[in-house]
Amino acid sequence: MSLSGRDRIGVLKLAGFANRVIVGWLRDCKTALFAEKLVKNALNSVGDDRVRKHSYQVLGGRPAIALNAVNDLVPEDLQRRLREGSTPKED
């Protein structure tokens, strides 16, 4: 599903409002009013996620990821793309 520019802006505004409501429920209204703006991540691979990057720093590095097909039904091209997409780029 692809959203038009106007629809995408509406969805982002709704998400931001929902974030502030949830922060208000969990904390208080003052904190909710000054909550951080939601930032959209450009995720081209697993390593692009800023939350994961932070956890790598906290936990002492990236875990090794090994993808193995359990049978021959997974095409080689798909296996290759999954390997490439799950290998984080060096910062």
Domain ranges of the chain: 5-86
List, for residues 11-65, the tens digit of each pLDDT value: 778 887 887 788 777 777 777 667 667 666 667 766 677 788 888 889 888 877 7
What is the Cα–Cα distance from 26 to 24, expressed in whole angstroms?
A: 5
What is the Cα–Cα distance from 34 to 72, expressed in whole angstroms?
A: 52
pTM over 0.95: no
What is the Cα–Cα distance from 56 to 46, expressed in whole angstroms?
A: 12
